[in-house]
Amino acid sequence: GAGVSQTPSNKVTEKGKYVELRCDPISGHTALYWYRQSLGQGPEFLIYFQGTGAADDSGLPNDRFFAVRPEGSVSTLKIQRTERGDSAVYLCASSLSGGPNTEAFFGQGTRLTVV
Amino acid sequence: AQKITQTQPGMFVQEKEAVTLDCTYDTSDPSYGLFWYKQPSSGEMIFLIYQGSYDQQNATEGRYSLNFQKARKSANLVISASQLGDSAMYFCAMSYYNQGGKLIFGQGTELSVKP
């Protein structure tokens, strides 16, 4: 399909393990965003890429979280030494230009469960 | 600090009736945008409608309209002629013109449409 694709859709991991979450944005979209949505809450911003560079990483909660977008398309969110509090749905979105009035298209998310 | 407030955790509406979902925001920046997204149980965020802070007219998109009251800092979503498929979570969100499309979300309102 032509939408934002996130893999895996579900991930269960043990506390302390390392995980990678992948986002494949809509082709041609230069802006890519990661959000985290805890149960019963609205999504919280994590990081924003414009092209290959992280334009705003102010939402990353700590240095266990890191994201890359090496070729300006696919992005990977990496979480080291996972904790139970990291359990949430991780949403990826992309937009054509990253402008303030530009519609962001979201993927269906990766549900991460840390046991 | 909470920037977007949605005070209705849950709402019920009869099919074919109109419903208003409330959203207030807090900012001193004059340049911002307001969005509404729908999140069905499948988890994907679906864009509904956008209002820029300098827009003179209230935004409309089909059955959706945004009641923008700038002085009151409110951006309520009105859904006319509710349908069963409108049952979902609804999120109000804000972006700033100088922050590249990053969205700040409210906590959401769960809408249930009764047949």
- Read off the pLDDT of residues B46-95 as tens digits, 9 standing for 90 and up: 999 999 999 999 999 999 999 999 999 999 999 999 999 999 999 999 99
Query: Confidence class of residue A13 from pLDDT cuts 50, 70 and 90?
Result: very high
Question: Can you give the pLDDT at residue B111?
Answer: 98
Query: Confidence class of residue B100 from pLDDT cuts 50, 70 and 90?
Result: confident
Chain A stretch 14-73, residues whose beta carbon is closer than 8 A to a beta carbon of chain B: 31, 33, 35, 40-45, 48, 50, 55-56
DSSP chain B: ---EE---SEEEEETTS-EEE--EE--S-S-EEEEEEEE-TT---EEEEEEETT-SSPPEETTEEEEEETTTTEEEEEE-S--GGG-EEEEEEEEETTTTT--EE---EEEEEE-
Contacts A41 to B, Cβ<8 Å: 107-108
First to last CA, chain A: 32
From chain B, which residues contact A within 8 Å (Cβ)?
A: 4, 31-33, 37, 42-47, 50, 52, 91, 93, 95-108
Contact B33 A109 (CB under 8 A): no
With H, G, I as helix, E, B as strand and everything else as coil, classify residue A112.
strand
Q: Alpha-carbon dihedral of residues A96, A70, B101, A7, nearest 10 degrees?
A: 80
Question: Can you give the pLDDT at residue B17?
Answer: 98
